Amino acid sequence: MAHKHITITPNPGGFGASIIGANLARPLTRDIVAEIKDAWHAHGVVFFPDQDLTPSGLEGFTEAMGDYGLTEFIVPMDGHPNILELRREPEETASHFGGGWHTDYTFQEKPPAATILYGHIVPPVGGDTLFADGRAAYLALSDKMKTFLEDLRGIHSAVLPYSKEGFYGNENDPTRSLKIVPSDSAKDERTHPIIRTHPGTGEKILWINRVYTIGIDGLNAEEGKALLDFLCAFSTKDEFVYRHKWQKNMLTMWDNRRVQHFADAGFDGHRRVMWRTTTAGTIPV
């Protein structure tokens, strides 16, 4: 697609790109929406510096990108049921939220297509987000491994973080600003293909993650763990990863059909406030 309304600057290697020329606080034309989605499909992660957004403005941009995704286990922002306010205050001692490689909500039947994150208050140090490219990881696999994985399905569940016996269920730190609601429903399981076909591009993606993929259908626990350990380590090798530096008023949108992410820490003693939405996805195939 020729981009007539926005300017796209890809990162070295083409994974991730900045976009300027669109004011996301205003209604977007159909042509601009199409160009943004094209860049998002091409680069996996797109980011928009210098966007002065209110929560309502973030909702307007999200709705231009698609229907809202389903949010579970976390209390949303007051008055904005589709926005999570990922707030951390300077005095918080609770564990850092999102600090493990994952793809958002893969335990759902229809995991989100996009995650959209807006930097409302960005600390002067730390807080980077690392992104790993599942398309590049798939292409780097040997042909024999691709063939072996083609018909395998990963078992996905929210049991590790969000069950009452899970990480957040056992956490007892009243300083946490983000309100997490563990539930027995987090133990529910469903399977998704390990090699996913991207619905927008037709490309193959290595689609597993350490937080929500808990086994491999048809393999015993020992076999599944060994294979998942290899695939998770392989998919987040440095050659597939870029470190994203945040700025105040930057909006970043990434493709959950292709990308894993890792929220880095390093900003203890500083306030950080990010607003997050997701768009609805489809059943992975």
What's the pLDDT score for residue 132?
Answer: 98
What's the pLDDT score for residue 4?
Answer: 87
Pick from 231, 229, 226, 236: nearest CA to 262: 236
What's the pLDDT score for residue 95?
Answer: 86
Q: From CA 142, how far away is CA 239, in angstroms rounded?
A: 16
Q: What are phi and psi of 210, to 5 degrees?
A: -75, -25
What's the pLDDT score for residue 2?
Answer: 67
The CA angle 152-240-51, to the nearest 5 degrees, is 110
Domains of the chain, first to last: 7-279 (3.60.130.10)
Q: From CA 87, how far away is CA 23, in angstroms rounded?
A: 25
Tens digit of pLDDT for each residue in 54-96? 999 999 999 999 999 999 999 999 999 999 999 999 999 988 8
Q: How many CB atoms lie within 10 A of CB 14?
A: 12
Asked if 217 and 155 count as a contact pair (C-beta separation under 8 A), the reply is yes
Going across the sheet that includes 17-20, the strands are 7-10, 17-20, 45-48, 251-255, 114-121, 272-279, 84-88
pLDDT of the chain along its 285 residues, tens only? 668 899 999 999 999 999 999 999 999 999 999 999 999 999 999 999 999 999 999 999 999 999 999 999 999 999 999 999 999 999 999 888 999 999 999 999 999 999 999 999 999 999 999 999 999 999 999 999 999 999 999 999 999 999 999 999 998 888 999 999 999 999 999 999 999 999 999 999 999 999 999 999 999 999 999 999 999 999 999 999 999 999 999 999 999 999 999 999 999 999 999 999 999 999 999
The residues that bridge with 88 in the sheet, in sequence order, are: 272
What's the pLDDT score for residue 195?
Answer: 98
What's the pLDDT score for residue 1?
Answer: 63
Pick from 209, 177, 187, 211: nearest CA to 74: 177
What's the pLDDT score for residue 137?
Answer: 98
Q: What is the DSSP letter of 240?
A: G
What's the pLDDT score for residue 96?
Answer: 85
Beta strands 84-88; 129-133: pairing state: unpaired
Tokens 């380590």 found at: 233
10, 228, 279 from 220: Cα distances, Å: 42, 12, 34
The residues that bridge with 130 in the sheet, in sequence order, are: 243, 262
